[in-house]
Structure formats: structure tokens, C-alpha cells
Amino acid sequence: RYENGAAGSEPVDISIITDVHTIGKNNFANDPNMPPPVVTYGKVTVKSKSLQNTYAGKTEYRFDNLLDANATSYHTIDPKPGPLCSNVTLETFTTIMQLVGAFGRPLGITQFNDQDQIVSAESFEYYPNGTGLLPSITETFGQQLRKPQGNSFPSCTGYDLFINMRITKTQYKNLVKKKTIYKDGIFLTEEVLARDPSTGAATIVRVSDPSTGITETHTAFAYRQPGYEKMGTKSKDPSARNLLLAPYKVTIYRNKLVRDVYGNLVPGGNPELIGGSKTTWRQSLPMRGFDMGANKYVVQTRPSMDWKPFKTYEFNGDANDANWREVQELSLWNTRHAAIESKGGVTNRYAATKLGYNQRYVLCEANDAKYTEFTFSGFEDQETVAPGIIHFGGEITQGQMRYGGDATIKPHTGNYLAKVDAGAYGPGYFTPEISPGRSYRASVWVHKNSPANAALVLTLDGSRSTSKLRGGLISYKNIERSDPSNTSVGDWILMTLTLDVPADYVATGGTLNDFRAYLYNPGTSTAYFDDFAIRPLDLAFEGNVIDENSGRTTAVLDTHNFATKYVYDKEGRISEVWTESPTDGWKLKQQNTYNFKRAY
């Protein structure tokens, strides 16, 4: 049931009515081709039925649709002639105060049972329309008109009349001040005690519950803190970033409720801090990128136009937030200003993400590993890291070796593989930043038509702090396609190597000075590789193969580098799922058929 309906129309023009300028409204003739007017109702009742088709109660909704929350005022200055009747000016000032969203805002929701008894209710109170109470936007428009020979001043009849008009429009943001909830015979209130002056976002919210007491949540936004002024509003500083809702600190206080001599519930003591969090921010970011001069990937601290979160803290029982527990630090970013590595504040354990496809899609991600300790490439995406230098995603070199296959050589997954000519070094991954005492595993698929000695190679170069070895090769391992320990699935053969990093390893002093995993073809014919993965041995890991045009995941490689393939129909829906295993090869795991018809 609908009650108290009201129709509205939009302002369409500014017209002259006598000597006063005002807002006109739509006054179209009754035309059956016109859309119906917007109608809102002051009260809407929705009745419910049970499964037995009996009355089960109702819900009443109340809306604010009849209150005139907008005020318009006019101020007119009496016309006066200028010297020798040179001009007569009529000045009109119009002020419009508009509360945006007041029309149709909810006032209350009440639920009744089958006996029409109130089960629960919510009511809403709003801030009144007034300067200083609500965030606002003020716009001023001016117009000057000239009416030839329109002057009717007795001594200056026939002279021109000049009209100066100014309209000031102030729009106030419509915000809830207090919400009252009734349920199970108890009244709960949620009241906003303070708001941010720039955005209207709540900064102090009080929740009163007779059973638990008063809880207040205080929110401090970063742009109002010392050192973060450049996160503030552009209206005050054009170089600021308008990051007005970025949080700095949230604190939660609790106080018990007691009854005063009049029976009213009031706070009964000093508030107690029971929870909180804090976020620090920074503009200078440690970024991972390719250094052409050094011919390697490096981390450089660079200034950024954007502010990014740095460290987060949580309340640990100490009232001084300087002693709160550090939860996380965002420790590394890519050149697109996306976070790619974080460190746990208590555990110091790392989590990281490798992005590819022009830094748009996730290649692989891992917990308990630094950004440099793992990578994956399906040899699908290429990236020009410097003029004339092409890499694969995941910081894998030799991106120019991408190959789409032919009639006899099909990729293991995806649309591409790596083609390595006879006697050439293939794609590789090089880093000095690995963890001493940890073991690393590398694996890659090699096509059966590749030379028998097509190889996966691991090397470790550096120093050992507790031995006499100061620089030079510490470890070298390789495995060839013909190795009997390999696993064959169809036309592809999986090669796997593990390298143990000494606990006293130091990445200094050697000629290469790093950990290297690369592909090598010493044979006399072409070698073909696909799905290259490097990870810590104790790490759970997945590599993603993405179709670069559609963004769909076409395959996922598991911790042991076996694939799950996804086949899509023409409408982009998964039609088949295939899984790969060392015992069963490729096996159809799931097949989907989509059939749609009209419901009538």
C-alpha cells in the first residue's frame, strides 16, 4: 500500500518574472507520449504471507517527501538614476540553499508480526539545513542585462535600464545524524557526534547499548595530520592530492552505562581504550625496475605523485600508539605504483606477487618468500624493458625467443613457448637476493623434439663467510632432456632441479655474484621450452597462464609444475577443464554445457 504520494519536476531555466529572477519548473502540456512523473511516497506498507497463505505480518517504510528543505531568498536594491540619467541599475540577489537528497530520504522502517505488534524498528534523524553543520558546495552565477529605453524612472523616462543579477547556490550534503534501533524490547542508538569538515565523513560515532554500554569510534584522517598536508584538498592547495578519506588512526573506546537520579542512562566513568589501528603513508616508494646501465633489475627509491600506505599497526593494550604492534609493511612497488611485496611486522615473513602482461595480470604469488625468490613464465607475454631489450614477464630474459609453435610443435599451455636455436642460451632468471640456508627448485617443460642435451641449468656464485671461499662458483647443476628421472606427458617432458644454498652464503666477491636459473641448448637443432618456474622448495606455489587479449586464465601450473587447462566457448564461459598428472597424463575433469530457454 502506498500513501502520501508526491510528484516532482526538475528545474529547467532561469526566467525573468517582473524584476526578480527565480528558478522556473517544468510546465509541459499533458502529453501521453511524455514519461510519467517521478512519484515518491511518504509511506509504503509491504504485507507478507506465510507458506499456508495466511497473513504473516508487514513492514512499513516512511520517507521524507513533503518537507520543503530548500530555501530561496531574494534581495532587491531600489533603482537609482546615474548622473544625467546615463543609466539606471536594478540589482537582484538570489540565494538558493539546497539540501541534496532530502526528497525521498528514509525516515523509518518498522516490522510487525501477524498480530500487528512491533517486532523491530529503525528511525533516522538528519542534520538540519544550515551553514556550518554540513559539508557544502557553493556556486555563484552572474548575469548582466540591458533593456533599451526601458527606464521608467520619472525623471529619466526613455533611457536604458541595466539589470545586474547574481545567483548564489549552496548545496548541502544530506547526512544521517542519528539512528535508533528497537529490537527485543531494547533501544540501541548510533549517533554521529562529529564529521570531517571537507567530506562529511564521520569522525566520532557513538553506539549506546544498555547491555554493553557506550562504544565510541574515533577516526582521524591522514590529510589532517602533520606531514601529510599534501594529501589534503585541492581547493586549499592545488598541488594536494585530494586523498581526504585515507585513514590515519582509528581508536575505539568503551564506557559503561548507569542510570542517573531521573532514571536516564548516562556514561558511568572514564572511557577505556579497547581497540584501534594506525596506517602511515609515504610518497617516496622503493620501486623494482630494469636498470639499463647495470643490465639488471634493481630497487630504486623514487618520488611519486601518489601517496601510498606504508606501515599498519594494531592496538595491543598500550594506550600510546607509538608502542602498538606492527602488522604489515608494504616494502616494494612496481613502476605502475602497485604493491608487489609486503612484510609481516611481527613475523618478518614476506609475501609477494609477480605481475606480467604489461604489469596487468598476476603471473604467480607466494607467501613466506621475498619478491626475488620465485618467478614463473609461460612465455606468453613480452616486455620491452629498455631500447632493444625484450624480456618475458616475471623478469625472465630473452623475450625475443617467444614462438607460437607450428604444425608439429604445440605449446604445453597457452598460445606461446620459447624457441632456442642451436648453441644458444635461452631464457633465464638471475638474482643475488635469495635466502641463505634455503633450497630452491626450478622446473621447465621441454618438447620431445628438442635435442637430447637441451638443458635446465642452476648456478650459485658468491662467497661463504665461514670458509676460505671468497668469490667464485659455489654450485653448478644441470639436467638434460634425456635424463631418465624426467617425467613425460604427451609430447612434453618435465625437467626439475633442486639447489641448496649454504647457510653462510654471501652474494659478494664472485664474477657472476648471484643465483641463476636458465635454459641452454648445446645441441645442433632447435630446442623448445614452456612453463618455466623457480621457487623455494618449501613454498606452495601456482603459476598463471593468461590470454593477453581476453584476460582469461587458460592454465594454472601447480607447485610441481603440472597444469590445469581451461577451455572457453565463444561466449567466454568455461566449457572444459583438463588436468595433467605424471600417471594419467591429460584427463578431462569437467565438461559444461549451457542451455537457455524462455521461462514462458
- 3-state percent breakdown (helix, strand, coil) of the chain, nearest 5: 5, 60, 40
Q: Of 127, 150, 184, at which residue does a domain stop?
A: 184
Alpha-carbon distance of 181 to 190, in angstroms, equals 8
d(CA 464, CA 478): 22
Which class for 139: exposed (0-12), middle (13-18), buried (19 or more C-beta within 10 A)?
A: exposed
Residue 298 is assigned to a structural domain of this protein: no
Per-residue pLDDT at 228 exceeds 90 = yes
Question: pLDDT tens digits, residue range 431-441?
Answer: 989 999 999 99
CA 196 → CA 52, 134, 264, 437, 549, distances in Å? 51, 9, 30, 52, 44
Residue listed under C-alpha cell 622503493: 286
Q: Where are the alpha helices (DSSP H) in 392-534?
A: none
Burial class (CB in 10 A: 0-12, 13-18, 19+), 523: buried
pLDDT surpasses 50 at 10: no
8-state DSSP, 397: S
Q: What single DSSP character describes residue 373?
A: G
514, part of any domain? yes
How would you classify the pairing of strands 296-314 and 325-333? antiparallel
Structurally, the chain folds into a number of domains equal to 2
pLDDT tens for 240-298 read 999 999 999 999 999 887 777 887 777 777 889 999 999 999 999 999 999 998 889 99
pLDDT band at 74 (very low <50, low <70, confident <90, very high): low
Domain contains 503: yes
- pLDDT level of residue 568 (50, 70, 90 thresholds): very high
pLDDT for 39 beyond 70 = no
pLDDT, position 11: 42
Listed in sequence order, the residues at least 6 apart from 351 whose beta carbon sits closer than 8 Å to its beta carbon are: 341, 342, 343, 344, 365, 366, 367, 368, 369
pLDDT at residue 598 above 80?
Answer: no
What is the secondary structure of 47-116 as a DSSP string?
EEE-TTSSEEEEEEEEEE-S----EEEEEEEEEEE-GGGS-EEEEEEEEEEEEET-TTEEEEEEEE-TTS
Find, among 561, 375, 380, 588, the residue nearest to 486 by Cα: 561
User: Do 534 and 423 form a contact (C-beta atoms < 8 A)?
Assistant: no
Amino acid in position 172? Y
CA–CA separation, 50 and 463 (whole Å): 78
Residue 573: give its domain's CATH number: 2.60.120.260
Q: How confident is the model at residue 343 (pLDDT cuts 50, 70, 90)?
A: very high
Q: Which residue, chain included where needed, has cell 558511568?
A: 268
Torsion (CA) 429, 431, 437, 439 in degrees, nearest 10: -10
How many Å is the Cα radius of gyration of the chain? 36
Tell me 236's DSSP state.
Answer: T
| Residues 214/258, Cβ–Cβ less than 8 Å | no
Residues 25 and 40: their CA atoms lie apart, in Å, by: 18
Per-residue pLDDT tens for 457-497? 999 998 887 766 566 778 999 999 999 999 999 999 999 99
Q: What is the mean pLDDT of residues 127-153?
A: 69
158 pLDDT tier (thresholds 50, 70, 90): low
Residue 48 backbone phi and psi in degrees, to 5: -115, 150
Which domain-ending residue is among 128, 150, 184? Answer: 184
Which grid coordinates belong to 177? 545524524
CA separation for the pair 141, 305 (Å, rounded): 34
pLDDT of residue 449: 97
Residue pair 104/140 in contact (Cβ under 8 Å)? The answer is no
Residue 431, burial from CB neighbour count under 10 angstroms (0-12, 13-18, 19+): buried
End-to-end CA distance of the chain: 29
**152, 184, 216 — which closes off a domain?**
184
Return the percentage of the chain with pLDDT > 90, whole number: 61
Residue 455 neighbours by CB under 8 Å, 6+ apart = 478, 479, 480, 481, 495, 519, 520, 521, 522
The residue with cell 529503525 is: 122
Query: Cβ distance 336 to 324 under 8 Å?
Result: no
Here the cell at position 263 is: 532514571
What range defines the domain where residue 67 resides?
1-184
* For residue 154, pLDDT beyond 70: no
* pTM of the predicted structure, to 2 decimals: 0.77
Q: How confident is the model at residue 70 (pLDDT cuts 50, 70, 90)?
A: low
578 falls within a domain: yes
Burial class from Cβ neighbours inside 10 Å (0-12, 13-18, 19+) for residue 159 reads buried
Residue 86 or 61, more confident:
61
Q: Amino acid letter at 119?
A: V
**488-536 residue pLDDT tens:** 999 999 999 999 999 999 887 556 678 999 999 999 999 999 999 999 9
- The residues pairing with 579 across neighbouring beta strands, listed in sequence order, are 564, 587
Provide the β-strand partners of residue 146. Answer: 162
Is 567 a member of any domain? yes
**% the chain with pLDDT above 70:** 82
> Distance (Å, rounded) from C-alpha 424 to C-alpha 268?
80
